[in-house]
Amino acid sequence: MLILGIESSCDETAAAVTRDGREVLSNVINTQIAIHKKFGGVVPEVASRRHIEVIDGVIDEALGEANVTFDDIDAIAVTYGPGLVGALLVGVSTAKALAYALNKPLIPVHHIKGHITANYVAHKDLEPPFVCLVASGGHSHIVYAEDYTHYEIMGRTRDDAAGEAFDKIARVLGLGYPGGPLIDKLAREGDPKAVAFPRVRMDGASLDFSFSGVKTAVLNYLHRLDQNGETYNKADIAASFQDAVTDVLCEHTIEAAMIKNSKTIAIAGGVAANSALRKKMTEEAGKKGIRVLYPEPVLCTDNAVMIACAGYYEYLNGTRADLTLNAVPSLRL
Ligand code: KG4
Ligand code: ZN
């Protein structure tokens, strides 16, 4: 079964074709990073306009790369939330127009479910159930994947998403946008134990996250040094901040796996591209006999392969949308 996936929830316009969910025939990503860089973050209206300009070309390229035509496609899967409403609407409207014109099924896909599903593409033997950490610029969840389309939420952020914290700290360190990859790179030259930033644990046994505390702690720390006219080593700050965030992500996720007696942890979303997180999770979970899986970085950040793959499993599950499908910016998992 060939599925055309379409993704436009934030600042990447993407289209991909997969066969039977897991086999990637094409993966085209048009990123707007260069456009938003000068503003230090994604400007929603600018993002929507850019999606409109490039989406037709991105889809044509995805079909061409897969060596297929619209006639060969069996269904069209599209991200309908969560995300920026104007950005989502471009993908949703395009998918609806295609489904109508070609008379093919339309499958609505949840963006976070897509991120989790990237692990099925990366690891052909992976089957549910397993525990998954999904950490991106907009979300941080620990879920238990019960089957291919149903997820139990075991923990979520109470405030900022992990990626949001990376982006904010990178900005105050003057590193640029998006911050995650830049902190990841700089931290390799720093000492993760240079500054002990807080590791926040929410009340009781909750697996929820809170990243606003560590963010504020770094900001206050830098402020104090600035006021005293003291210099600091940016690499040490980046490494210490990253160490605090990844400690919490690993601790909670491994605890979730222990609760579910799961021998597999998958990680997903943009932050799953973080080299320190991958290493730490693999080492710490390994001590408990738990294997850790993650997709290659290009399938961690936003892409349409994950949407086509999630669309395949939704299709098998009977999920369909009609032409009343709308974008849902704060769609819940
Ligand atoms: O999944 P994604 O592409 O978009 C959302 O759905 O939000 O995630 C983007 C986020 C950004 O906050 C970015 O800074 C972060 O993922 N990110 C990273 C790394 N690569 C991307 N964070 C830490 N380390 C990385 N290597
Ligand atoms: Zn995403």
How far is the centre of ligand 2, averaged over its atoms, from the C-alpha of 8 (Å)?
10
Residue with tokens 């109470």: 158
Closest CA to 244 of 169, 132, 181, 296: 169
C-alpha 266/C-alpha 281 separation (Å) is 10
Which run of H or E residues covers position 153?
strand 151-156
Of the listed ligands, the closest to the CA of 36 is: 1
For 3, phi and psi rounded to 5 degrees? -120, 135
Q: Name the residue of 173, 301, 330 whose CB sits within 8 Å of the most ligand 1 atoms, as the mutation to test its pocket.
A: 301
The reported pLDDT for the residue numbered 165 is: 96
Going from the Cα of 323 to the center of ligand 1, the distance in angstroms, rounded, reads 32
pTM over 0.95: yes
Name, in order, each residue with C-beta under 8 angstroms of 103's C-beta and a sequence gap of 6 or more: none
Regarding the beta carbon of 166 and ligand 1, being less than 6 Å apart is answered: yes
β 140-145/151-156 pair status: antiparallel
How far is the centre of ligand 1, averaged over its atoms, from the C-alpha of 138 (Å)? 9
CB 160 less than 6 A from any atom of ligand 1: no
Residue 40: per-residue pLDDT: 87
Q: What is the pLDDT along the chain (333 residues), one digit of tens a residue?
A: 999 999 999 999 999 999 999 999 999 999 999 999 989 889 999 999 999 999 999 999 999 999 999 999 999 999 999 999 999 999 999 999 999 999 999 999 999 999 999 999 999 999 999 999 999 999 999 999 999 999 999 999 999 999 999 999 999 999 999 999 999 999 999 999 999 999 988 888 899 999 999 999 999 999 999 999 999 999 999 999 999 999 999 999 999 999 999 999 999 999 999 999 999 999 999 999 999 999 999 999 999 999 999 999 999 999 999 999 999 999 998
Closest to 39 in 3D by CA, of 176, 184, 160, 136: 176
Instruction: Tell me how far apart the alpha carbons of residues 280 and 243 are, in angstroms, rounded to a whole number.
Output: 9
Report d(CA 273, CA 313) in Å as an integer: 24
Is the CB of residue 264 below 6 angstroms from any atom belonging to ligand 1? no
> Looking at residue 180, what is its pLDDT?
97
Which ligand minimizes its atom distance to the CA of 169? 1
Determine if the peptide bond prior to 82 is cis (ω within 30°): yes
Alpha-carbon distance of 304 to 199, in angstroms, equals 34
Residue 135 Cα to ligand 2 midpoint, Å, equals 9
What tokens were used for 226?
């600035």
- Quote the ligand 2 centre to 111 CA distance (angstroms): 6
What local confidence, expressed as pLDDT, does residue 201 receive? 85
Residue 226, CB-side half-sphere exposure with 13 Å CA sphere: 9
Domains and their CATH numbers in the chain? 2-115+300-316 (3.30.420.40), 128-297 (3.30.420.40)
Which one of the ligands is nearest to 114 CA? Answer: 2
Ligand 1 pocket test: pick from 166, 211, 274, 294 the residue with the most ligand atoms within 8 Å of its Cβ: 166
